[in-house]
Structure 1
Amino acid sequence: MQKTSAACARRTVLTFLATAGVLLATGLTTAAHAADKSFTMGFAQVGAESEWRTANSESIKSTAKAQGVNLKFSDAQQKQENQIKAIRSYIAQKVDVIAFSPVVESGWDTVLQEAKAAKIPVILTDRGIDSKDTSLYTTFIGSDFVEEGRKAGRWLLENVKPKGDVNIVELQGTVGSAPAIDRKRGFEEIIKADPHYKIIRSQTGDFTRAKGKEVMEAFLKAEGKKINVLYAHNDDMAIGAIQAIEEAGLKPGKDIVIISIDGVKGAFEAMMAGKLNVTVECSPLLGPQLMDTARDVLAGKAVPKRIVTKEGIFPMEVAAKEFPNRKY
């Protein structure tokens, strides 16, 4: 009787362990599947205002396709109201995660509160927002725009030595946008160390080549040969300005030193032609980092509130060597 009871007990224990093992294995498989399965992302893009933005959109689209992510993509055409409309549409569609590059810094609280109420995580890419409630977004992936401005300012102070006043004209990005605000702030923070460096004109070129040319024409008409340096908040505006400088009978890169930001292929071509002096890198290839971060967020993993991309600075002298390595 005791032997029979012991045998029954052993069988019960073995059955329990086997069942537990199956359940554990099933649980692990389910968890792994949850981490690997596809998800739906709603992405609200700023627009297609520059080479940089085109490369940024392509990086996001191609990465989503390669990873099997169901991507819903919208182009705001540089208008905040279009982005807000797109985000509300994504909320209504009950996407798993929303990502966007804000047209401007302010005015997002209401729509992001709606996303929060719907329990849809929000990831900022490329540009940040100005909000006291940081719980409205999960993380911000992108460049340090202030540091980009500082890099531009440091290059100027190190490479253009004053023989008197150094007169600078500035082509700003879209009014109210994070890169325009921060790139200006970082640049001014550095050049204020020497009163010889003076910004004599500053106006928005809206990050576009056409507007950059138009505003530079106005600068040249107003200031002429007094202009020593052009600081453009992106390469496209700088390339537009180069056209205006040449049409005015001046030599870009020589008569007027040109500093810009982004590091697109067009800027490297201009540097190789001797028409642009330096570009500060701002990588648009955020697709892989965005998708990886979204997966981590949806899996419940902790992610940093701020994820800064690593970038360099490229003067004219290294353009030819670096050009074959450029992916955008």
Structure 2
Amino acid sequence: MKNVLVGLFAVIVLLALPSCLTSDMEQQLPPNEVLAPSAPGFDEWVSTHARSSEAPITLGFSQLGSESAWRMANTASIEEAAVESGITLMMKNAEQSQEKQFEVIRSFIEMNVDVIAIAPVVETGWDEILEEAAQAGIPVIIVDRSVDVRDPSLFVTTIGSDFYEEGVKAGKYLLDKVSNRPGPIRVVELQGTVGSTPSIQRGQGFLDTISSRSDITVTYSAFADFTEAKGKAMMQQILKQSPGEPPHVLYAHNDDMALGAIEAIEEAGLAPGTDIIVISVDGTRRALEKLAAGKLNAVVECNPLLGPQVMQATKEIMAGRTLPKRMVPKEDIFTQERAKEELHNRKF
């Protein structure tokens, strides 16, 4: 009799197990994403969940460089967020070289990391390397900039600013600033890296916005690689080419180039912010200090602190959840009146 009772108890326990397993999975999956044992993706979910609970997630991140204060703040944010989230981060700097990025990504594929994140140097040329990652079964997140590929399914999501909108904000500020000022108004534009998303879209957004006034024209546009040194060098060259007729406006695609240009303007005996309207993009502490001092007129914010979003997206991917194709942080525009107030909030 004792043996019979033991046998019956074992059968009851075995029958209850599937129900317990399903209940446990329902609690851990988000609403509307409960998977039944017969549903497509059930085995994959179990495999992913089991792996993530036993070992930390490994994220391979290809940073494009260290060309600016914004980029260094972006790197620090990625590193800090990885530590806080318990994700193992493998970060490599491409030093502004797409070829080096390809090498790094292939090394991540060989290491069989869980997720790859890329801050691309330029927009084009990514189809082949992303296909290699897809064939290896490694999902890809695009960070900060964008990629132009034939098949958008080769990456999961893009996390970063709306650069076109940043250009629009800069253009709207200029239109408001010179609304009562007769033309012609000459604008000098300092762009970043050739072929990079910020340079393409910040420029286009600005041009589309100021086109409503035919007397505002971009008379000179030059690439300065997002660096302070090249920003200064290009502005020196521009001012030498038109002695006695300096531009009315400088639109720089990032703070570092604007800061370099401000030095050149002052060395030429002109007053930045007064003789030349200076508009920049980023929102670094140094730029806001110049803004508070009246040497910059407006700074369009571009948030580099993307680390928490990247880590959260990595976890969501590993949990098998669907993400939006584009995630954009909230951003602002700072004028001289707001600069001192905002300085206290700057983390970079």
TM range (shorter): over 0.9
Q: How does 1:204-283 map to 2 (within 5 A)?
A: 204-224=223-243, 225-283=245-303
Which of these residues, 109, 121, 124, is aligned with residue 139 of structure 2? 121
Distance 2:206 2:182 in 1: 20
Query: Shift of the alpha carbon at 1:35?
Result: 5.5
Q: How does 1:1-328 map to 2 (within 5 A)?
A: 14-16=12-14, 18-20=16-18, 23-24=21-22, 38-161=56-179, 162-224=181-243, 225-328=245-348
Q: Which amino acid aligns with 1:182?
A: Q
Please give the secondary structure, in 1, of the residue aligned with 2:206. helix
Q: Which amino acid aligns with 1:131?
A: V
Please give the secondary structure, in 2, of the residue aligned with 1:226. coil
Cα RMSD, aligned residues only: 2.2
Please give the secondary structure, in 1, of the residue aligned with 2:327. strand
Worse-matched range after superposition: 30-39 or 256-265 = 30-39
Query: Shift of the alpha carbon at 1:68?
Result: 1.6
Q: Which amino acid aligns with 2:336?
A: M
Q: Which amino acid aligns with 1:292?
A: Q
Q: Which amino acid aligns with 2:182?
A: K
Work out whether residues 127 and 150 of structure 2, in 8 Å CA contact, stay in contact via their aligned partners in 1: no
Normalising by structure 1, we get a TM-score of: 0.93
Distance 2:13 2:61 in 1: 50
> CA distance change for structure 1 residues 12 and 71 in 2, over 3 Å: closer, same or farther?
closer
Please give the secondary structure, in 1, of the residue aligned with 2:229. helix
Query: Shift of the alpha carbon at 1:58?
Result: 0.2
Paired residues, what number? 323
Work out whether residues 174 and 207 of structure 1, in 8 Å CA contact, stay in contact via their aligned partners in 2: yes
Please give the secondary structure, in 2, of the residue aligned with 1:190. helix
Query: Shift of the alpha carbon at 1:38?
Result: 2.1
> CA distance change for structure 1 residues 199 and 32 in 2, over 3 Å: closer, same or farther?
same
Distance 1:73 1:19 in 2: 42
Please give the secondary structure, in 1, of the residue aligned with 2:214. coil
Work out whether residues 94 and 101 of structure 2, in 8 Å CA contact, stay in contact via their aligned partners in 1: yes
Q: How big is each residue's C-alpha offset from its partner over 1:2-54, in whole Å with a ceiling of 9 and x where there is no partner? A: xxx9x999857744455446555776787876566520011000100000000
Please give the secondary structure, in 2, of the residue aligned with 1:301. coil
Distance 1:75 1:16 in 2: 53
> CA distance change for structure 1 residues 15 and 48 in 2, over 3 Å: closer, same or farther?
closer
Normalising by structure 2, we get a TM-score of: 0.88
Please give the secondary structure, in 2, of the residue aligned with 1:107. coil
Query: Shift of the alpha carbon at 1:223?
Result: 2.2
Q: How big is each residue's C-alpha offset from its partner over 1:97-128, in whole Å with a ceiling of 9 and x where there is no partner? A: 00011000111111111001001000000000
Please give the secondary structure, in 2, of the residue aligned with 1:128. coil
Q: Which runs of 5 or more residues in structure 2 are unaligned?
A: 29-45
> CA distance change for structure 1 residues 22 and 263 in 2, over 3 Å: closer, same or farther?
same
Distance 1:15 1:54 in 2: 57
Distance 2:8 2:111 in 1: 54
Work out whether residues 145 and 197 of structure 2, in 8 Å CA contact, stay in contact via their aligned partners in 1: yes
Work out whether residues 180 and 233 of structure 1, in 8 Å CA contact, stay in contact via their aligned partners in 2: yes
Work out whether residues 35 and 295 of structure 1, in 8 Å CA contact, stay in contact via their aligned partners in 2: no
Distance 2:188 2:194 in 1: 16
> CA distance change for structure 1 residues 86 and 15 in 2, over 3 Å: closer, same or farther?
closer
Query: Shift of the alpha carbon at 1:322?
Result: 1.1
Query: Shift of the alpha carbon at 1:272?
Result: 1.4
